Amino acid sequence: MLERVDVLIPTKDPSKVRPKLLETLRKAKWVNDIIFETSKPLSTARVIGAKKCTTEWIAMFDDDVEIPECWFDVVSSYVSTGVLAVSTPYFDDNVHLKSYQKLVDYIKPLHTRDTPFICNTLIKREILLNYNPPPTFYSEDELLYRHVKKYGKWVHPPNCGVKHYYVQKDLVKAAAIAEQLHFYPLFRFVRGRLAYFIISVLAIGYSHTWRTIPFFYKNNVKLIAGLLKTKLMK
């Protein structure tokens, strides 16, 4: 059982870190030291930050999340032979995303899905020290996820109360870079876009607003535009 670990928070500006996240960390007995890493881009910032840590395991958080007091007890209990990273699903503060997540979780629990949930991760330091990712902000979570799974396991406990505060990103660029990196087969991309079209309608049962539909439809248009942009450039 782990007792104390360093905390790594990659961020453009430490003043932008969620105050409640810092409050929880600063009173937690399991926190050894808190490192704010401001270098860019995010893929390499995680590596640079890991080099500044000294503990065998690192608790790594994005600056736009809040965690419950039980977070460390939950994730550290999943550390075992062969496990290199542990992260939990989260729910967004954005009503549309949260409604979508709740519906998807009902259909198939989020923690059973093959996705990193990188915004709250307990990770073994050595796996970051031998990581040399391409410099990128978008798709950096999938890059690290695939790197870790080459050497061991990345496991997901059920949701324990992590909350993510949604910030709109450049979805055209995100989809373009994912396509450039050949991350997702076309059938998987199409499946995701169909899910946005269909599940967003059903998610109104959770959001209780019709605005959930145009929210996801607009995101779909941007994602499709990013894919097409990359394919046309080839």
User: Which pTM does this prediction carry?
Assistant: 0.94
Tokens of 41: 């881009």
186: left (phi over 0), alpha (psi -120 to 50) or beta: alpha
Whole-angstrom Cα distance, residue 22 to residue 18?
Answer: 7
Could you say which residues of the chain have pLDDT below 70?
234
Tokens of 182: 């050949």
Q: What pLDDT is attached to residue 30?
A: 97
Q: What pLDDT is attached to residue 234?
A: 67
Kindly report the number of other CB atoms within 10 A of residue 124's CB atom: 20
Q: What pLDDT is attached to residue 186?
A: 86
Q: What pLDDT is attached to residue 233?
A: 79
Q: What pLDDT is attached to residue 5?
A: 98
Taking only the tens place, the pLDDT of each residue in 172-183 is: 999 999 999 988
